[in-house]
Amino acid sequence: MDDRVSRRTEILTNHLLRRAQPLSPPFVLHPHRCLSYCPPELCNEFAFDAREMRRLMDGHNLEDRDWLFSIIVQSALFNRRERAGRIFVCPDYNQSMEQQREATMKRIGYLVERGVFRGWLTGEGPEEELRKLALHEVIGMYDHSLAVKLGVHYFLWGGAVKFLGTKRHHDKWLSATENYDMKGCFAMSELGHGSNVRGIETVTTYDSNTGEFVINTPCESGQKYWIGGAANHATHTIVFSQLTINGSNQGVHAFIAQIRDSDGNICRNIRIADCGHKTGLNGVDNGRIWFDNVRIPRENLLNSVADVSASGEYLSAIKNVDQRFAAFLAPLTSGRVTIAVSAVYMSKISLAIAIRYALTRRAFSITPNGPEVLLLDYPSHQRRLLPLLAKVYAMSFAANDLKMMYVKRTPSSNKAIHIISSAYKATFTWNNMRTLQECREACGGQGVKSENRVGHFMGEFDVQSTFEGDNNVLMQQICKALFAEYVACQKKNKPFSGLGLEHMNKPLPVIPSQLTSSTVRSSEFQIDLFHLRERDLLRRFSEEVSEHQSRGESKESAFILSYQLAEDLGRAFSERAILKTFMDAESTLPAGSLKNVLSQLRSLYAVISVDEDATFLRYGYLSTENASAVRKEVPKLCAELRPHALALVSSFGIPDAFLSPIAYNWVDSNSWSSQL
């Protein structure tokens, strides 16, 4: 006991008097200088033209994007702050929900004054639509709440007025919407029905005596729910409702209803409640709406698809109920397009931050007293981030292709756009959440800080997996469409055409019994393998659905029972379409360094997609030996792409201010002086 007391006394005395403890020879310590930040640009040369790569990646309206980047960075409204001599912009997530909503509205006003939304609804043609999409992408890179608030107003409310309405609606509403003189929202989802829009319970009847429609919420499950803009700011809404004419339900239709006056007072017979605090998107005032026999003029029916005469006669050139319903859902296509593209850009930001951090942050020495190793020089860290980088490149090309399809759409292409936008929306948003999680972990504790963005993005963007269509439901819809194509071609003995299914008309691809590295990296082999998977899964899915039907199951029940193959087929369709757009983009380039690095990225995208999907082994598309050969290419390609990592994320064209402090001098940005 006395020895322990003496020992403790000695330790405390030495500590208080700052005496050094004597060390025996095995414990000799060597002094190490403090860690310092070294810009990765000093030791990472660019082997290709990053500006040209950006042109390929962004695809359109680079000058417009840079103009809006500059507008945002220059204004104090966007929460400018300095860290280690650099300016960063990012919403202040320490604000209350009410403060975030107020900040969103102020930012919208600032952007309106600077003409950002010019032509968003009154402009015509692909060029105007591409400008709108480009600017909306930039806004989303700054703040998801701001992008969603604007998306609801311009793409959903405004898009519904433009595409479901006719001249009388355009003349009255489009300019006012574009100038933000009035504020619109989009009341489709209900407490009891989200993805199942056909089942919504809001009911609208027609009163021929007054020439008015009467909108009613018949039960609590029929209340409109999650309506962006409804809680505080929207003055008008598009109401999706069952339309009953003379006792006959004509299905879901869209109406314009005013919910607030110009002073912000809630209109008569309308009740509105706040959805409350959320895990993200707290700058958006999501609300709930009840309609208590609300009367609106007959002219407020959006009547490009169907109309009701003054006497109460139901009129529509589209006699098929399913086709009519599909026409009313057309505005949602723009929502899926913008969500899919947004997911790609958020993946870009998170990868740019995590990879730049990994190029300057060191951990552990592998030799005695040797320097610590850069995170990105560890093969395991390369394996975590670089396949995701390859995926975001692949998805960028696919997103650009989708946007071009959308802005050049025709009535005959709408079905294909619906299917492909659904596939990409699900695939890109799922991939984004996985990317955000991996990047958050790859940044360690720094990834948890809100100012470093990546961790906070997870709460902000998780909702993309379910709004504008639950991803799993969208994938099932895709498989139903593919099934219909397959059955029609089989019955009529006609070739496949559209949706990229033309490969089904060719002989079955033959996979070599023994794969070499050069074969695995061949684009011909990669697309053959993806074609083989897709056509076999489509055949299996169709046969399984048909088998269930032969046993007495309805078609809907047969689809539900075949959900496992539907999941596999939806993935196969999406990944094949993505690979094909990557190959098409690559094929436009002349030989050179840019094409070489894209070839490596395309191969990494292909092999990681194969390695992560069990169907290649489950159904025998690859032998175990060939699957192993594909897997071995993953670390090889990661190592080959490692020298290009900085150039590849720099090619995203994202301003420094839109990244975060750990993407740059994370030592100085965390210094004591930076906190003063």
DSSP 72-131: HHH-GGG-EEEETTEEEE---TTS-HHHHHHHHHHHHHHHHHTTTTTTTTT--SHHHHHH
H or E element in which residue 579 lies: helix 563-587
Helix (H, G, I), strand (E, B) or coil at 215: strand
Phi-psi region of 306 (alpha: psi -120 to 50; beta: other; left: phi over 0): beta
Q: Are 550 and 564 in contact (CB under 8 A)?
A: no
Distance CA 13, CA 129 (A): 75
> What is the SS3 assignment for 21-47?
CCCCHHHCCCCCCCCCCCCHHHCCCCC
Distance CA 216, CA 204 (A): 6
The answer to whether 228 is annotated as binding is yes
Distance CA 187, CA 294 (A): 14
- Number of Cβ within 10 Å of residue 72's Cβ equals 24
**Two tokens at 182?**
């009035």
Rg (CA), the chain: 29
**Two tokens at 428?**
């890109």
Distance CA 596, CA 92 (A): 41
Q: Are 161 and 172 in contact (CB under 8 A)?
A: no
- Number of Cβ within 10 Å of residue 587's Cβ equals 9
**Two tokens at 103?**
């900040």
The alpha carbon of 46 is separated from its chain's Cα centroid by a whole number of angstroms, namely: 29
Phi, psi (degrees; rounded to nearest 5) at 594: -65, -45
* Spatial CA neighbour of 425 closest among 408, 410, 406, 450: 406
Catalytic position from the list 468, 485, 575, 633: 468
Distance CA 1, CA 17 (A): 24
Residue 220 bears catalytic tag: no
* Cβ neighbours of residue 537 closer than 8 Å, sequence gap 6 or more: 565, 568, 569, 572, 615, 619
Per-residue buried b or exposed e for 603-617, using 16+ beta carbons within 10 Å of the residue's own CB: bbbbbbbbbebebbe
Distance CA 659, CA 86 (A): 11
H or E element in which residue 556 lies: helix 555-561
Per-residue buried b or exposed e for 392-406, using 16+ beta carbons within 10 Å of the residue's own CB: bbbbbbbbbbbbeeb
Distance CA 521, CA 637 (A): 10
CA distances from 59 to 296, 404, 522 (A): 44, 10, 25
Phi-psi region of 177 (alpha: psi -120 to 50; beta: other; left: phi over 0): alpha
- 397: amino acid identity, one letter: F
Q: Are 198 and 252 in contact (CB under 8 A)?
A: yes
Q: Where are the alpha helices (DSSP H) in 114-261?
A: 126-142, 144-150, 158-164, 167-178
- 385: amino acid identity, one letter: L
**Two tokens at 471?**
């991803």
Instruction: List residues forming the annotated binding site.
Output: 228
| Catalytic positions, written as ranges | 468
Instruction: List residues forming the annotated binding site for FAD.
Output: 228
